[in-house]
Structure 1
Amino acid sequence: MRSIGEMARDSGLGVSALRFYDRAGVLVPAWVDPVSGYRWYAPGQLDEARLLARLRRAGMPLADIRLVLAGWSGADTDLVRGLLQAHLGRLEGGLAAARTEFSALRTLLDQRENPMTTAPRTTTARLSVSAPELAAALDAVRYAASSDPGLPMLGGVLLDVEGDTVHLVATDRYRMAVARIGATGHAGPRVQVTVPVPLADAMRALLGGEEPVGLIVDGDRVALEAGDRQAAGQCLAQDFPDYRRLVHLPSGRRALVETAAFREELETGPVRSGVTREQGDASGDVSVLGIADDGTVTVREDGDGSCVAVDRGFLLDAIAAAGRDRLVLEFGAPTAPVAIRRVADETTFTLLMPVRLDD
């Protein structure tokens, strides 16, 4: 007999998925302890679980999976082949439809392009900022920059200069970190440049003093001057997405947490392993967060409709980047991003996309 943990490890299905398939009557454990409720599986059920995992990765509907499992264990191979072929046909049809829609979208994008988007940048700006504030802002957002070569426009830190304010933004789609600092010396139009991660790191290395530093944007180049030292280089050629359309702090439930205690609970508490954020993504560990009426946040093994599931590593990164003894967590709907911010500071925060737990 295999425990549910061993079954999860050997089959590729998470513990939560095995519980779900038990409740759905798809893969019922051979024996359930009447006292503890713990599930145990017979040796022969491992092959069924592996088959189930493959079918789910292929996106087969649960109703068809039931029939495939029933036919697989019997002699009705024609039924199994028919169901597999029917699902493959649906996938191929869906892919063909998706190709058509994406082709139309590319045409629309081509029509929207104009010479301004491809012409060299001619903007020039020079401003002065506090070295400690810029260092803290870079530390607060740098970790969220993307390393996906397929999305080069996200591989840096956006500097959005408008009047006497500089917003620093980084995102990899699943998390977005935003910080704001003050600036002097810029009275021109809004300027936006994306600093590649290596250059952002080089800039951060110069920010050890207390004196103001200079930020210079000259066309496609950006430079940081700290005394007689300088870090300079090319900006990313691709435009950063309009982050302001994506920044919506959740309204509703708010919790104040002690950072050290909350981090320990995340690191030692229950976790769902092997959860995929989206189709094609690598799997990771997910924490299910529940918030009580009194504002207490707990890390739970199973969630209900009010809980939110997030990537545990991303949440730990956000807590570390915030760098405070106490933090505010803000929750909206279970499908809305979770905000992590400093106490009494709504200008520096991280938004984490929730992870959908279908199984």
Structure 2
Amino acid sequence: MPADRITIGRFSSLTYLSQKALRLYDSRGILVPGGKDRFTGYRYYTVGQIEEALKIRMLCTLGFGLADIATILSALSAGDDETVRRLIDQRHQETTREIGRLEKIRSLLVERREFAELFAMNVSEPVIKEVPALRVISGRRTGTYESVCSEVSEALFAILFSPANQKNGVTITGPCMSLCYDEEYRETDADIEMAVPIHGPVTSDDPSFTVRTLPAARVISVVYRGPYEHDGFSVAFERAFRFAADQGLETDGPDRQIYLTNPDETPAEDLLTEIQIPVKG
């Protein structure tokens, strides 16, 4: 057989990519066999595709998904360095976040505390309280929790501290908060409203941000101390909903997370978040 007609089995051994992976790359158009026998129709890989396969294997090792791998290979072929750099920077940020997550897991495991105690000590006892109506400026978006909370809150503060609104005497009257409208956990398309309590006439050129009044509510309140992480919040929510069940209370409306401390000035382990669960009655 000519050296430039490489069977899938041989190509697999040369590139250390399984035949299953090669068939997947073929079906996705990422690495399609470059040769074809005109009599049998059998397709073969070519010598020139070995380098392409090695690029794919390296990108897989770096944690890129198939869609990004296809984009990077296309960009490399077209000399589009900007796209390649953008995707590499994006993957670097994802890796940094993952390292941080794993470091937190490692530190918890090193402490060897009982699992049930990992977060319980950082959640206050639930109480019922009356929350007055609150005038806020808010923006509602869908996306990941992290992206919506970060991007929308940043935009809200930019509006409030604009020269026009500072001239109008606009002031912030309370901590930033989020309201979650989903009835289930949604990883990438969560429906979240970010809101900042305000006083004064607010102007904004962006119609997606509105001034409105959050209604007064009777709520179950718990305060969680610790990083902005789902695990810690889950323990706080569990304690609040267990309290509601024990008291025979029925929840009513979106929960509120009120960020009592500034994450730019407070260590992650000391951040305070009040969780409010509106209830009927």
Q: Please state which band the TM-score falls in when normalised by the shorter chain.
A: 0.3 to 0.5
Normalising by structure 1, what TM-score? 0.29
Greater share of strand residues, 1 or 2? 1
Greater share of helix residues, 1 or 2? 2
Normalising by structure 2, what TM-score? 0.36
